[in-house]
Amino acid sequence: MKMKNLSDAEIIESVRKGKTADYSILIDRHKSKSYSMLKRMLKNEFEAEEVLMDCFLKAYNNLATFKNESKFSTWFYKIVYNTALTRISNTKRKIESEMTSIDDLHFLHSKYQADELVNEDIPTLVKKIVSELPPRNSAVISLFYLEDMSIDEISESLQISVANVKVLLHRSRNLLREIIEKRKVLQEVL
Amino acid sequence: MKNIDDDLLNKYLDGELSSEEQQLVKTEIEKSSELKKKFDFLHQVHTVLNNLELESPNQDFTNLAMNKIRKKNSAVRQQKYFLFTILTLFGITILGITGYLFYQIIFSIQSNQSTEIVTKYFRGFGNYISDIFGSNNLSLFSSVLSFILLLSGYFLIEFKRQIKKKFSH
């Protein structure tokens, strides 16, 4: 119980001293958020779980190289993001992800039929579209909204520039806004 | 009406603008119903995204991960013990051979009660070395050592292969 109140840095110190079991607290603390991000990036729950397992093992094996200069979550999400990208590039989805670059989000505009847009409520629709965003966009959305990371932290985790993080975030949000606007227009027409 | 683009609206939403810029966007939103509608939709998206539900992996995920870590740790420990055992055996063999050599030398020295003990000691040592490594014994020792090394190498590779196999599943 007392251990659960410790910071990530303190738990890491304890694991480094030989208390391997304490690592389970770190897993419990970060598994849901990172799983949500991976599921959105990989679009497959089994693969997401498999990659997540890999990430926690990688993080454990490299715990000695972790410096307390940044937060554990920033360091861990770097592992998660890179492992997910490697998995994507190893599968056929490489072609798909290349096709759906940040400038090519409009495929989601035309994907939904009018009746589908009108009948779905907004939260469900937004969640559906978020789960279909290209990997980089969904990673930024997950870290910004689920992990409450700042733009700078996301930039450090994903190793992309601050400007690019903003572009990915704004474009994803604009796309969602445009679809909701379209839904409103369709509701009025129908 | 000033040109308020999507980027500026997003920055306004995230509170990234200076107070003057913020005031400017706020005024423009109040003035234009179209811009207000646009901002309201964006704000609605922001609110839904803020309430995105967390999804969790398998309930047993933490236990499975910890089991993998424990298995890996024990495999590393076993590997260390294995190497330690092999090196100890190797050391004992070398020590045994050296001990046997010294025993033979000292025995030969003790049997000669002459005053030229030091000279004989060195002569005896030289003779023994040349006897052992100059005859068929050399090939015998080499064979034993090579056999031990080969056997250790084989077990080490096999052990590593098994660990790799265990973690790939």
DSSP labels for A66-78? --TTS-HHHHHHH
pLDDT tens by residue, B65-104: 999 998 888 887 888 888 888 888 888 888 888 887 787 7
The answer on pLDDT for A70 being more than 90 is: no
Give A77→chain B minimum CA distance, Å: 16
Residue B160 pLDDT grade (very low, low, confident, very high; cuts 50, 70, 90): confident
The predicted pLDDT at position A106 comes to: 67
Backbone angles phi, psi at B55, to 5 degrees: -110, 145
Residue B23: exposure state from Cβ atoms within 10 A (0-12, 13-18, ≥19): exposed
Query: Which candidate from B38, B62, B70 shows the least CB-CB separation from A31?
Result: B62
State CA B12 to chain mean position distance.
48
Whether residues B21 and B76 share a domain: the answer is: no
The shortest C-alpha distance from A26 to chain B (Å) reads 10
Domain count, chain B: 2
Mean pLDDT of A33-37: 94
Which residues in chain A have their CB less than 8 angstroms from residue B52's CB? 36, 127, 130, 142, 145-146
Q: What is the pLDDT of residues A153-166, one digit of tens each?
A: 999 999 999 999 99
B132 and B110, same structural domain? Answer: yes
Query: Does one domain contain both B33 and B102?
Result: no
- For the cut 70, the answer to whether the pLDDT of residue A178 exceeds it is yes
Query: Are B138 and B64 within one domain?
Result: yes
Judged by CB atoms closer than 8 Å, whether chains meet at B65 and A145 is answered as no
Do A52 and B70 lie within an 8 Å CB cutoff? no
Binned at pLDDT 50, 70 and 90, residue B142 comes out as confident
Say if B96 falls within a structural domain.
Answer: yes
Closest CA to B52 of A126, A86, A101: A126
Verify that B64 and B135 share a domain, yes or no. yes
Q: SS3 string of chain B?
A: CCCCCHHHHHHHHHCCCCHHHHHHHHHHHHHCHHHHHHHHHHHHHHHHHHCCCCCCCCCCHHHHHHHHHHHHHHHHHHHHHHHHHHHHHHHHHHHHHHHHHHHHHHHHHHHCCCCCHHHHHHHHHHHHHHHHHHCHHHHHHHHHHHHHHHHHHHHHHHHHHHHHHHHHC
CB-defined contacts A:B, below 8 A: 95
Pair B29, B63 in one domain:
no
Q: Measured between CB atoms, does B64 come within 8 Å of chain A?
A: yes
- Domain assignment present for B1: no
The reply to whether B82 and B146 lie within a common domain is yes
Task: Output phi, psi for B57, to 5 deg.
Answer: -70, 180
Whether residue B163 is contained in a domain is answered as yes
What gap in Å lies between CA A15 and CA B38, rounded to an integer?
50
pLDDT band at B146 (very low <50, low <70, confident <90, very high): confident
Statement to judge: residues B32 and B13 lie in one domain? yes
Report if residue B29 sits inside a domain: yes
- pLDDT reported for residue B116: 61
Does A104 score more than 70 pLDDT? no
Contact A145 B44 (CB under 8 A): no
Q: Which residue has the higher pLDDT, A181 or A141?
A: A141
How is residue A68 written in tokens? 């307390």
Residues B41 and B64 in one domain: no
pLDDT at B141 > cutoff 80: no
Residues B86 and B134 in one domain: yes
Q: How far is CA A2 from the centre of its chain?
A: 30
**How far does chain A reach from its first CA to its final CA, in angstroms?**
56
**Percentage of chain B exceeding pLDDT 90:** 27
**DSSP-based three-state secondary structure for A51:** helix
User: What is the Cα–Cα distance from B68 to B70, expressed in whole angstroms?
Assistant: 5
A48 versus A3: the higher-pLDDT residue is A48
**B122 within some domain:** yes
Quote the Cα angle for A134-A140-A146, to 5°: 120
pLDDT bucket at B63, cuts 50 / 70 / 90:
very high
Residues whose CB is less than 8 angstroms from the CB of residue A71 and which lie 6 or more positions away in sequence, other chains included? A8, A153
Which pLDDT does position B80 carry in this prediction?
Answer: 82
* Mean of pLDDT over chain B: 81
Whether B54 contacts chain A with CB within 8 A: yes
What domain range includes position B114?
A: 59-168
Average pLDDT of every residue of chain A: 85
pLDDT value at residue B169:
47
Closest C-alpha among A185, A184, A190, A152 to residue A169:
A152
CB-CB neighbors (< 8 A) of B51 in chain A: 123
Residues B152 and B157: their CA atoms lie apart, in Å, by 9
Does residue A85 surpass a pLDDT of 90? yes
User: What is the C-alpha separation between A28 and A21, in angstroms, rounded?
Assistant: 12
pLDDT tens-place string over residues B112-138:
555 566 666 666 776 776 666 665 666
As for the ipTM of the complex, it is 0.81
pLDDT at B164 over 70: no
Q: How confident is the model at residue A141 (pLDDT cuts 50, 70, 90)?
A: very high
Same domain, B15 and B98: no
**Minimum mean pLDDT range among A1-15, A147-161, B4-18:** A1-15
For residue B35, tell me if it sits in a domain. Answer: yes
Q: Is B132 inside any structural domain?
A: yes
Residue A91 has pLDDT above 90, yes or no: no
Can you give the pLDDT at residue B115? 53
Q: Are residues B146 and B78 in the same domain?
A: yes
Query: Is residue B154 situated within a structural domain?
Result: yes
